[in-house]
Amino acid sequence: MKGNWKLALAGTYSVTITDLNGCVNTATTTVLDTVCLTLFIPNAFTPNGDNDNEVFKPVISHPLTYSLTIYDRWGNLIFKSADPDAEWDGTHKGVLCVADIYIYQVEYSGYAYQKKVIGKRTGTIALIN
């Protein structure tokens, strides 16, 4: 889009114009909240103590609901949380898991351009020691 576009806060805005002949016209518009749900899921992490990529954490913006579940390759539950800020540190019952491929499932809901979105993403995450 061309022009000088700026982010407007949600609300109702009006402008009144008076021309040289004294004619008055008012235009009103409503700006809706356009918060957009976004989700980023990394594909690997290295919980090896070097303070670089130590945890697995999907990043989601503005969720209404959220659930993260992680399984090992045999389908055993390794980690589960409904907190969108929760991080998996690569451990299960206090013990560091072996370097392997793990399966994650993220279920979420939120709004994207005033429409409710419900989604589920399933994939793999590599735990690298």
In this prediction, residues 107-128 reach a mean pLDDT of: 90
pLDDT at site 32: 60
Is 84 inside any structural domain? yes
Q: Which helix (H) or strand (E) holds 107?
A: strand 100-112
Q: What secondary structure letter does DSSP report for 98? A: P
Owning domain of residue 83: 39-127
Is 10 inside any structural domain? no
Kindly report the number of other CB atoms within 10 A of residue 124's CB atom. 12
Which residue bears the tokens 């809901």?
Answer: 109
Specify the CATH number for the domain of residue 101.
2.60.40
Is 11 inside any structural domain? no
pLDDT band of 83, cuts 50, 70, 90: very high
Q: Is there a contact between 78 and 120 (Cβ–Cβ < 8 Å)? A: no
pLDDT at site 5: 43
Task: Give dist(CA 76, CA 62) in Å, integer.
Answer: 30
Is 17 inside any structural domain? no
How does pLDDT run across 25-69, given as a tens digit for each residue? 888 887 666 567 789 999 999 999 899 999 999 999 889 999 999
Is 123 inside any structural domain? yes
**How many domains, the chain?**
1
Kindly report the number of other CB atoms within 10 A of residue 107's CB atom. 16
